[in-house]
Structure 1
Amino acid sequence: MIESWRWYGPDLDALSLPEIAQTGASGIVTALHEIAYGEIWPREAVAARRAQLEKAGFHWKVVESLPIHERIKRGEGDLGPLFANYRQSMANLAAEGVTTICYNFMPVLDWTRTDLAHPLPRGGSCLRFEAYRMAAFEIHMLGREAAEDAYDAPTRARAASWFQSASEGERDALLQAIMAGLPGAFDRYDIAGLRQQIALYDGIGPDEIRRNFKRFLDEVIPAAEDLGLRFAVHPDDPPRDILGLPRVVSDAEDIAWILTAHDSPANGLTLCTGSLGANPANDLPAIARRFADSIHFAHLRNVVKDADGSFEEAAHLEGDTDMVAVIAVLLEEEARRRALGRGDAAIPFRPDHGHVLLDDVDRAAFPGYPLIGRMRGLAELRGVIAALRAQGRADV
């Protein structure tokens, strides 16, 4: 398995490449966040980022993400130019040695949390999704029609109580936490702006999203095959509809649909144990085993779930997901690929959404992406991998 580290680039990330080098990771997972959605990533810009990483001693094999324009997700207007731009960006990435594109098809928002600094019992903080606070946001702050139908009576009652007692600062902090799920340097919305974005999806349900998703795959996967690229869809986070927007990458059956919508080795999965792990019905070792041959990239993190649908980021080996079992499946899949003589047998992975610990508090890192918390996670995952190999549970 290839130890990797997500980096937002020299203009956005609080961490420097020399600092990241001390974690032991060999690969950087990054993107050109400064380029607007739908625009071509120039080969010169891709080459400059690659050269910067290589000079610091890293390789760049995985892009996270090459964003999909919202109009493609909505199936809106003449999409030919957007698809052409996307394919040209793919070609420019492939020409500079990138092999894997991690992407998602979540409307408007990526990951969603209600608290960016939830205190931990022994110090530090984590990301948390609190069901009643999300309900308060949707019902009382956003005023979304039909939002009450998405929550049970106890959750609605707690939401109303919180909203009535919350200060303006607390309500603004909730909005900012939810907006933090927008990637990179993308503009954040106020309440009016978010309502406007959601309204653009009026009348678009799961069937329409899947139809638009399939069109995207049909437009890009043949090009990926020609370029030697592999696509790896990231699951919904959390794995449920958010703000009334349909999400279609939340469980095993969703993944199966995507992989068969355009049947190709280039059409694959980013196994995110945290995103999928927030759904109590998802068995992560079973999902990893079922789709092992389609896993092109992995995000390894853990969550602890509550009965009301709330969850928070756990230490990598302490949550509800059996991380040892998941890693064992990935190692077995790598061994299978090596036995077939595949040159791309190794699966890149990265520790995801670490806790804010110690000196992390004083850094202005992206939420979920501190230095020490992720380094702790990487060290723990590295230990699991070493132990499994030593026990002979993977053919190395």
Structure 2
Amino acid sequence: MKMVFRWFGEGNDTVTLNQIKQIPGVEGIVWALHDVPAGEEWPMDKILAIKAQADQAGLHMQVVESVNIHEDIKLGLPSRDLFIDNYKKTIAKLAQVGVKVICYNFMPVFDWVRTDLHKALEDGSTALFYEKSKVAHLNLSEHVKVINENPEFTMPGWEPERLAHLTSLFEAYQGVTEEQLFENAKYFLDEVIPVAAKHGIKMAIHPDDPPWPIFGLPRIMTGQNNIRRFLQLHDSPYNGLTLCSGSLGANPANDIIAMIHEFAGRIPFAHIRNVRVYENGDFIETSHRTQDGTVDIAGVVQAFHEEGYEGYCRPDHGRHLWDEQCRPGYGLYDRALGMMYLWGLWDAYRKAAAEKETNQA
């Protein structure tokens, strides 16, 4: 397991590379060019600027999250070929600086949805929260207002260019079915995966967050059956999955451990985090510790260890602790704590496996 840490760049993140370097076991950063609109080719000078910063800190930059998919590709519009061509060119550039994995998603309009960015937990920390009934009756303009109350940071999946065209985007998706979204995804994969394979980069799609349709929009990366179908759309080791225990764990029906065992060879990247799911369908993000949420994090890490996982992993969304002022969900303290919890589990399983092997010898 190769441990990495998401970083949003100088001026766009309260966490510094020097701080990341001090977390035991961190090898690299998970990065992106967040100021480049979806669909545009990434400029090489900006890519090299990130590389210089990572090199200076002694961290690699082998995982990108995300090279976002333009909505015209998801909609299957004739203009998609231009944006797919830009995507291919970006892949070639990323290969030049040593990128091995590109995390992305195929969610229409929004990457993720929460109703409260700072919901209080019992211990006084705050975390991202999803209130199911509120989403069902949500005024989107009010939700955009909540996001815009954090103007010092860009919010992945809620970029200004998307927010400015919500009405037209929703109109464009009228009548688009889950089946059509799968078809449009296949078109994208058939074009992009051969290019990624040529350059030794694995594409790793992220599950939908939350893993069910919202606002009448179709979603396809919601559970084991759909993930299996997506990976079969273009059956290649370069068409992979970002296994996110938090996104998938918002639906208790998802058997994440079974997914790890089934898809292990197609998971180049993993996000490991916990959520507490309530009976009414609400959920809140908790510490990474198994006992604090609904997801069996200990079992998740054990499954990865049993499969001999050698891919990249990062602690995902954290709580906001000790009055830290940070990007919602992406502070330093709780993600660092989460990483050490994951390492503790991994080391325990590794030691147990070694002792078992010795005893059997």
Does TM, scored on the shorter chain, surpass 0.5? Answer: yes
Q: Is 2:59 aligned against 1:58?
A: yes
Give the superposition deviation at 1:76: 1.2
CA distance in 2, matches of 1:312, 1:196: 31
| Aligned match of 2:304 | 330
What's the CA shift string for 1:122-149, capped at 9, x where partnerless? Answer: 1110111001221231xxx35xxxxxxx
Asked if structure 2 preserves the Cα contact closer than 8 Å seen for 1:302 and 1:314, the reply is: yes
RMSD: 2.2
Equivalences for residues 1-396 of structure 1 within 5 A: 1-24=1-24, 25-137=26-138, 141-142=139-140, 172=142, 175-177=145-147, 183=156, 186-187=159-160, 193-317=165-289, 318-334=292-308, 346-360=310-324, 363=325, 365-392=326-353
TM-score (norm 1): 0.84
CA distance in 1, matches of 2:308, 2:148: 37
CA distance in 2, matches of 1:44, 1:194: 31
How many matched pairs? Answer: 351
SS at match of 1:26: strand
Give the superposition deviation at 1:22: 2.0
Asked if structure 1 preserves the Cα contact closer than 8 Å seen for 2:63 and 2:99, the reply is: yes
CA distance in 1, matches of 2:121, 2:296: 21
CA distance in 2, matches of 1:262, 1:3: 28
Q: Which amino acid aligns with 1:293?
A: G
CA distance in 2, matches of 1:272, 1:258: 16
What's the CA shift string for 1:336-368, capped at 9, x where partnerless? Answer: xxxxxxxxxx211111110100041xx2x2211
CA distance in 1, matches of 2:346, 2:209: 26
What's the CA shift string for 1:228-280, capped at 9, x where partnerless? Answer: 11011100000000111100000001110111000001011100000000112
Quickly say closer, same or farther: Cα 1:55–1:204, change in 2 above 3 A. same
CA distance in 2, matches of 1:218, 1:128: 36
Give the superposition deviation at 1:395: 8.2
Give the superposition deviation at 1:326: 1.2
Q: Which amino acid aligns with 2:15?
A: L
Percent of aligned positions that are identical: 42
Q: Which amino acid aligns with 2:219?
A: R
Quickly say closer, same or farther: Cα 1:47–1:352, change in 2 above 3 A. same
Give the superposition deviation at 1:79: 2.2
Asked if structure 2 preserves the Cα contact closer than 8 Å seen for 1:114 and 1:178, the reply is: no
| Structure 1 unaligned regions, length at least 5 | 143-170, 336-345
| Structure 2 unaligned regions, length at least 5 | none
SS at match of 1:377: helix
Give the superposition deviation at 1:286: 0.8
Asked if structure 1 preserves the Cα contact closer than 8 Å seen for 2:110 and 2:157, the reply is: no
Quickly say closer, same or farther: Cα 1:267–1:37, change in 2 above 3 A. same
Asked if structure 2 preserves the Cα contact closer than 8 Å seen for 1:179 and 1:189, the reply is: no
Q: Which amino acid aligns with 2:167?
A: R
SS at match of 1:391: helix
Give the superposition deviation at 1:285: 0.7
Asked if structure 2 preserves the Cα contact closer than 8 Å seen for 1:101 and 1:229, the reply is: yes
Asked if structure 2 preserves the Cα contact closer than 8 Å seen for 1:10 and 1:16, the reply is: yes
Asked if structure 1 preserves the Cα contact closer than 8 Å seen for 2:104 and 2:203, the reply is: yes
Tell which deviates more after alignment, 380-389 or 9-18. Answer: 9-18
Asked if structure 1 preserves the Cα contact closer than 8 Å seen for 2:66 and 2:103, the reply is: yes
